[in-house]
Structure 1
């Protein structure tokens, strides 16, 4: 043991000894800057809440679809997304958020998942991937979305940022209002207004610190008879499948198991983009 300690002492003294002989000491290596730690606090708070800090996270949701303008409830709705995040190697570069999301319609009274409606099959809303990149620009969080397959791959560039504001001491609200108008693989157009209000609470102040309310005004799917409707969901974050509502988890495991895990990396996204365009990209 004494010999080992002596060897360590000699090694630790070798650089100063060389410096004394006139040989220049090697410059210290620059400190590595962690992109997440260096990010503005509002961007870091948003990304951590929305996509986690390493392990995949999920946001589960439930709500309803209402006829417009009567307000009659047409359907219930349940769903979830699964997300992971990749911070860049260089501080200040965009953050990559990979996610899958899927939602389905339910009976407005019983809550049972609908497989058909008026003799027509009911298709869930299902995005096999979305790749979202975040950056801070002029005091707003900008989120560009890449989605679709084949010739229908599209980049939805953010026109407006995610706004944020402090509500009291313990809550930050993030709001994203989205006006959508783009072609679908079927040849139809998707036009709708959607609004996301995320409420991120200081840890320990409420049981669930990650909450969201989502509204949409847009067309009903063809199987539902068309026309305009109001969608409203409330959503909250869970860390594992064990925290899913029972009915949502049963549907996910039996019908949508791929969606329980986010894309592994950008390479998986590129592979998915080569698939044939299918149902559910943006319905």
Structure 2
């Protein structure tokens, strides 16, 4: 009996080894290419559209709902190398949880969306890990985050799961305070033809609310799926972008455009 149990355990472990990468980062060249293709596309813009909530912590009270997207474009400096650039913009609006209207004012304070005019992200496969750098901000506030090797790949059946935790802790200029928050991204890439939405993401963030909302710690959570054309964005948000935030209609065209945004005040 003990021998039978040992053989069964060995079989389970062997199947697990076949089903998921066992290296530290979990990446193989194929999983790297699958990650780039899913996350950034092949050159034309892709839109990771999100809906979610903002809740007080620890009470769980629903404060706002959120909607928005991350628009990304892929560039390969050298197609022969496992290195990819991501040019993207992201914008997320806050909505009244009862009426669903986009908030422009809250308790006498103007409400601004969470909006990045650009982010420049690099992904490079080094061994079984993906090394990342992120650039954002403008003028004296340009920030380069990295190198990081926190993205991990693993298989869940025939679904590829890419997990990217983000730990933010940096000084706030002009103060003695620090900005601290935690975010986690779980990307689920389904086999082609298996489901209607093969590119999925669950995102959660713990950290301070925007100043107009009081700055207290909140939990933000959004579910996200990829849309491959701006016309696929729901009409209400699309109209807001076209009238209030036209820059965010498409991701940056090039690194030159990003460098110009970085040099701006």
- Shorter-normalised TM range: 0.7 to 0.9
| Deviation larger for 235-244 or 182-191 | 182-191
Where does residue 200 of structure 1 map in the other structure? 189
In structure 1, what is the Cα distance between the partners aligned to 2:196 and 2:206? 31
SS in 1 for 2:248: helix
- Contact 2:139/2:262, CA 8 A, preserved across alignment: yes
Where does residue 154 of structure 1 map in the other structure? 143
In structure 2, what is the Cα distance between the partners aligned to 1:247 and 1:185? 36
- Contact 1:81/1:259, CA 8 A, preserved across alignment: no
| Deviation larger for 235-244 or 91-100 | 91-100
Q: Structure 1 residues 128 and 192 mapped into 2: Cα distance closer, same or farther (>3 Å)?
A: same
- Contact 1:63/1:234, CA 8 A, preserved across alignment: yes
In structure 1, what is the Cα distance between the partners aligned to 2:173 and 2:228? 34
Q: Does 1:264 align with 2:253?
A: yes
Report matched runs for 1:24-103 at 5 Å.
Answer: 40-89=29-78, 91-92=80-81, 94-103=83-92
Where does residue 242 of structure 1 map in the other structure? 231
Tell me, which stretches of 5 or more residues in structure 1 are unaligned? 1-38, 277-283
- Contact 1:58/1:240, CA 8 A, preserved across alignment: yes
In structure 2, what is the Cα distance between the partners aligned to 1:110 and 1:146? 36
Which runs of at least 4 in structure 1 moved beyond 6 Å after TM superposition?
A: none
- Give me the CA root mean square deviation: 1.6
Where does residue 137 of structure 1 map in the other structure? 126
Q: Residue deviations 1:114-151, cap 9 Å, x none?
A: 00000110011111110000012342222210111111
SS in 1 for 2:231: helix
In structure 2, what is the Cα distance between the partners aligned to 1:131 and 1:122? 26
Q: Residue deviations 1:40-95, cap 9 Å, x none?
A: 11111111111111211111111000000000000000111111111122633631
- Contact 2:32/2:125, CA 8 A, preserved across alignment: yes
Where does residue 177 of structure 1 map in the other structure? 165
Instruction: Return the index of the structure with the highest Cα Rg.
Output: 1
- Contact 1:83/1:100, CA 8 A, preserved across alignment: yes
- Contact 2:82/2:125, CA 8 A, preserved across alignment: no
In structure 2, what is the Cα distance between the partners aligned to 1:165 and 1:104? 32
In structure 2, what is the Cα distance between the partners aligned to 1:185 and 1:237? 35
In structure 2, what is the Cα distance between the partners aligned to 1:251 and 1:158? 35
SS in 2 for 1:65: strand
- Contact 2:46/2:73, CA 8 A, preserved across alignment: yes
Q: Residue deviations 1:195-246, cap 9 Å, x none?
A: 0000000110000100001000000111111210000001111011221122
Q: Structure 1 residues 119 and 99 mapped into 2: Cα distance closer, same or farther (>3 Å)?
A: same
Give 2:240's match in structure 1, choosing from 242, 245, 251: 251
In structure 2, what is the Cα distance between the partners aligned to 1:94 and 1:62? 30
Q: Structure 1 residues 40 and 56 mapped into 2: Cα distance closer, same or farther (>3 Å)?
A: same
Number of residue-to-residue matches in the alignment: 237
Q: Does 1:191 align with 2:180?
A: yes
